[in-house]
Amino acid sequence: MIALRLFFLAAFQILVLTPIYAQTTDFQWKQVAPGVWKATVGKPENFSPLGVAGIQPATAALQKLGTPAFPKYLSGSKNELSDGKAYLRFPLVKEEQLFGLGLNFKSVQQRGTIKTLHVDHYNGKDDGRTHAPVPFYISDKGYGVLINSARYITVYAGTAVRKDSKNPPAEMNRNTQKDWSASPYSDAVEILVPAAGAEVYVFAGKDAMEVVQRYNLYCGGGTLPPKWGLGFTHRTPTLFTDAQVLKEVEEFEANGYPLSFVGLEPGWQSYAYPNSFVWDSTRYPKPKQFLDQLLQKNIRANLWINPYVSSHSPIYKKILPYSGTHTVWVGLVPDFNMKPAQDLFKGLFTERHIQLGVAGYKVDETDGYDDWLFPDVAKFPSGRSAEQIRQTYGLQFQKISSDWFREKNIRTYGLVRASNAGASAMPYVIYNDYYNHKDFITALVNSSFIGVLWTPEARSSQTSEEWLRRMQSVCFSPMAMLNAWADGTKPWTFPEVAGQVKEVMQLRMQLLPYLYSTFAQYHFEGKPPVRAMNLVEGFSFEEKIIEGKLNSTDNPYAQAVRQDIKDQYMLGDYLLVAPLFAGDRSRKVVLPRGKWYDFYTGKFVGEGETIELKNLTGVDKIPLFVRDGGIIPMIPPILHSPVKDQILPLTVRYYGSKENSWNLYDDDGETFDFERGGNSWTKLEVKKDPSGKLTGANPAAGGKSFHYNSIKWEYMTK
Amino acid sequence: MIALRLFFLAAFQILVLTPIYAQTTDFQWKQVAPGVWKATVGKPENFSPLGVAGIQPATAALQKLGTPAFPKYLSGSKNELSDGKAYLRFPLVKEEQLFGLGLNFKSVQQRGTIKTLHVDHYNGKDDGRTHAPVPFYISDKGYGVLINSARYITVYAGTAVRKDSKNPPAEMNRNTQKDWSASPYSDAVEILVPAAGAEVYVFAGKDAMEVVQRYNLYCGGGTLPPKWGLGFTHRTPTLFTDAQVLKEVEEFEANGYPLSFVGLEPGWQSYAYPNSFVWDSTRYPKPKQFLDQLLQKNIRANLWINPYVSSHSPIYKKILPYSGTHTVWVGLVPDFNMKPAQDLFKGLFTERHIQLGVAGYKVDETDGYDDWLFPDVAKFPSGRSAEQIRQTYGLQFQKISSDWFREKNIRTYGLVRASNAGASAMPYVIYNDYYNHKDFITALVNSSFIGVLWTPEARSSQTSEEWLRRMQSVCFSPMAMLNAWADGTKPWTFPEVAGQVKEVMQLRMQLLPYLYSTFAQYHFEGKPPVRAMNLVEGFSFEEKIIEGKLNSTDNPYAQAVRQDIKDQYMLGDYLLVAPLFAGDRSRKVVLPRGKWYDFYTGKFVGEGETIELKNLTGVDKIPLFVRDGGIIPMIPPILHSPVKDQILPLTVRYYGSKENSWNLYDDDGETFDFERGGNSWTKLEVKKDPSGKLTGANPAAGGKSFHYNSIKWEYMTK
- SS3 per-residue string spanning B181-208: CCCCCCCEEEEEECCCEEEEEEEECCCH
Query: In this predicted model, what pLDDT tens digit does every residue of A392-417 receive, in sequence order?
Result: 999 999 999 999 999 999 999 999 99
Q: Is the CB of B323 less than 8 angstroms away from the CB of A163?
A: yes
* pLDDT, position B18: 39
Q: Is the CB of A371 less than 8 angstroms away from the CB of B182?
A: yes
In angstroms and rounded to an integer, the radius of gyration of the C-alpha atoms of chain A is 26
**Residue B310: its chain A contacts at CB < 8 A?**
171
| Angle, helix B512-525 to helix B498-510, in steps of 10 degrees | 50
**Residue B12: its chain A contacts at CB < 8 A?**
11, 15
Q: Is the CB of B169 less than 8 angstroms away from the CB of A377?
A: no
Distance CA A419, CA A49 (A): 9
* pLDDT, position A23: 75
Kind of pairing, strands B197-204 and B36-42?
antiparallel
Closest alpha carbon within chain A to B276: A173
Task: Identify the three-state secondary structure at position A243.
Answer: helix
Number of H helices, E strands in chain A: 13, 39
Q: Which of A175, A432, A466 to mutate to test the interface with B (most CBs of B within 10 A)?
A: A175
DSSP letter string, B443-505 = HHHHHTTTT-EE---B---SSHHHHHHHHHHHTTSSSEEEE-TTT---TTSSGGGHHHHHHHH
Q: Is the Cβ–Cβ distance between A637 and A371 less than 8 Å?
A: no
Q: Which of B12, B174, B332 sits opposite A273 (nearest CB)?
A: B174
Give the distance from residue B191's alpha carbon to the nearest chain A alpha carbon, in angstroms: 7
Query: In this predicted model, what pLDDT tens digit does every residue of B548-571 receive, in sequence order?
Result: 555 555 544 444 444 589 999 999
Q: Is the Cβ–Cβ distance between A232 and A508 less than 8 Å?
A: yes
Q: Is the CB of B326 less than 8 angstroms away from the CB of A163?
A: yes
Distance CA A248, CA A493 (A): 13
Q: Is the CB of A326 less than 8 angstroms away from the CB of B374?
A: no
B324 burial class (0-12, 13-18, 19+ CB within 10 angstroms)? buried
**Residue B47: its chain A contacts at CB < 8 A?**
none
Q: Is the CB of B274 less than 8 angstroms away from the CB of A487?
A: no
Q: Is the CB of A552 less than 8 angstroms away from the CB of B487?
A: yes
DSSP H stretches of helix in A430-580: 437-447, 464-474, 498-510, 512-525
Q: Is the Cβ–Cβ distance between A444 and A566 less than 8 Å?
A: no
Q: Is the CB of B172 less than 8 angstroms away from the CB of A435?
A: no
Domain boundaries, chain A: 23-169+179-218, 231-501, 533-551+558-627, 631-715
Q: Please check the confidence at residue A563 and state whether its pLDDT lies above 80.
A: no
**Residue A172: its chain B contacts at CB < 8 A?**
273, 329-330
Q: Decide yes or no: CATH 2.60.40.1180 for domain A533-551+558-627.
A: yes
* pLDDT, position B4: 53
Distance CA A581, CA A613 (A): 13
Distance CA A359, CA A410 (A): 9
Output the CA angle A231-A236-A240, nearest 5 degrees. 145
Q: Specify the pTM.
A: 0.93
Q: Which of A11, A180, A239 sits opposite B175 (nearest CB)?
A: A239
Query: In this predicted model, what pLDDT tens digit does every residue of B301-310 receive, in sequence order?
Result: 999 999 999 9
Q: Which of B16, B280, B376 sits opposite A154 (nearest CB)?
A: B376
Q: Please check the confidence at residue B204 and state whether its pLDDT lies above 50.
A: yes
Say how many C-beta atoms besides its own lie within 10 A of residue A554's C-beta.
10
Distance CA A368, CA A420 (A): 14
Q: Is the CB of B163 less than 8 angstroms away from the CB of A325?
A: yes
* Cα separation values, B585 from A200, A653, B588, B616, Å: 60, 64, 11, 5
**Residue B553: its chain A contacts at CB < 8 A?**
435, 459-460
Q: Is the CB of B12 less than 8 angstroms away from the CB of A15?
A: yes
Lowest mean pLDDT among A598-602, A708-712, B264-268, B270-274: A708-712
**Considering only CA atoms, which of A158, A178, A175 is closest in space to residue A167?**
A158
Kind of pairing, strands A660-667 and B360-363?
unpaired
Q: Is the CB of B163 less than 8 angstroms away from the CB of A552?
A: no
| Angle, helix A464-474 to helix A498-510, in steps of 10 degrees | 0
Distance CA A325, CA B165 (A): 10
Report the pLDDT averaged over residues A129-151. Answer: 98
* pLDDT, position A692: 86
**Residue B239: its chain A contacts at CB < 8 A?**
175
Q: Provide the mean pLDDT of chain A.
A: 93
Q: Decide yes or no: CATH 3.20.20.80 for domain B231-501.
A: yes
Give the distance from residue A370's alpha carbon to the nearest chain B alpha carbon, in angstroms: 7
Lowest mean pLDDT among A271-280, B4-13, B506-515: B4-13
Answer left, alpha or beta for residue B571, where phi above 0 means left and psi between -120 and 50 means alpha. beta
Looking at A639-698, which runs of residues are DSSP E strands? Answer: 648-654, 660-667, 679-688, 694-696
Say how many C-beta atoms besides its own lie within 10 A of residue A363's C-beta.
23
**Residue A485: its chain B contacts at CB < 8 A?**
552
Q: Is the CB of A12 less than 8 angstroms away from the CB of B15?
A: yes
Greatest alpha-carbon pair distance for chain B in Å reads 102
Q: Is the CB of B175 less than 8 angstroms away from the CB of A280?
A: yes
Q: Give the pLDDT band of residue A95 (cuts 50, 70, 90).
A: confident
Q: Is the Cβ–Cβ distance between B248 and B262 less than 8 Å?
A: yes
Lowest mean pLDDT among A19-33, A510-524, B154-168, B499-513: A19-33
Report the pLDDT averaged over residues B103-124. Answer: 96
Q: Is the CB of B550 less than 8 angstroms away from the CB of A486?
A: yes
Q: Which of B370, B389, B390, B460 to mutate to test the interface with A (most CBs of A within 10 A)?
A: B370
In angstroms and rounded to an integer, the radius of gyration of the C-alpha atoms of chain B is 26
Q: Please check the confidence at residue B316 and state whether its pLDDT lies above 90.
A: yes
Residue type, A232: F
Q: Is the CB of B372 less than 8 angstroms away from the CB of A182?
A: yes
Q: Which of A280, A326, A376 sits opposite B154 (nearest CB)?
A: A376
Q: Please check the confidence at residue A79 and state whether its pLDDT lies above 80.
A: yes
Name the strand (E) or helix (H) holding B36: strand B36-42
Query: In this predicted model, what pLDDT tens digit does every residue of B483-537 receive, in sequence order?
Result: 988 888 999 999 999 999 999 999 999 999 999 999 999 999 999 999 999 999 8
**How many alpha carbons fall within 13 Å on the CB side of residue B399?**
23
Q: Which fold has domain A23-169+179-218?
A: Immunoglobulin-like (2.60.40)
Give the distance from residue A387's alpha carbon to the nearest chain B alpha carbon, in angstroms: 10
Distance linking the first and last C-alpha atoms of chain B: 98
Q: For chains A and B, count residue pairs whose Cβ atoms are closer than 8 Å.
A: 215
* pLDDT, position B199: 97
Q: Give the pLDDT band of residue B371 (cuts 50, 70, 90).
A: confident
Q: Is the CB of A326 less than 8 angstroms away from the CB of B161?
A: yes
Give the distance from residue B44's alpha carbon to the nearest chain A alpha carbon, in angstroms: 14
* pLDDT, position B617: 85
* pLDDT, position A142: 96
Q: Give the pLDDT band of residue A18 (cuts 50, 70, 90).
A: very low
Output the CA angle B687-B692-B694, nearest 5 degrees. 40
B557 burial class (0-12, 13-18, 19+ CB within 10 angstroms)? middle
**Considering only CA atoms, which of A113, A105, A116 is closest in space to residue A149?**
A116
Query: In this predicted model, what pLDDT tens digit does every residue of A478-507 receive, in sequence order?
Result: 999 999 888 889 999 999 999 999 999 999
Q: Which of A281, A552, A554 to mutate to test the interface with B (most CBs of B within 10 A)?
A: A552
Q: Please check the confidence at residue A11 and state whether its pLDDT lies above 80.
A: no
Report the pLDDT averaged over residues A138-144. Answer: 97
Report the pLDDT averaged over residues A365-371. Answer: 84
Domains B23-169+179-218 and B533-551+558-627 fall in the same CATH topology? yes
Q: Is the CB of B377 less than 8 angstroms away from the CB of A329?
A: no
* pLDDT, position B559: 43
Q: Give the pLDDT band of residue A421 (cuts 50, 70, 90).
A: very high
**Residue B175: its chain A contacts at CB < 8 A?**
238-239, 266-267, 269, 271-273, 280
**Considering only CA atoms, which of A58, A131, A54 is closest in space to residue A429?**
A131
Closest alpha carbon within chain B to A189: B377
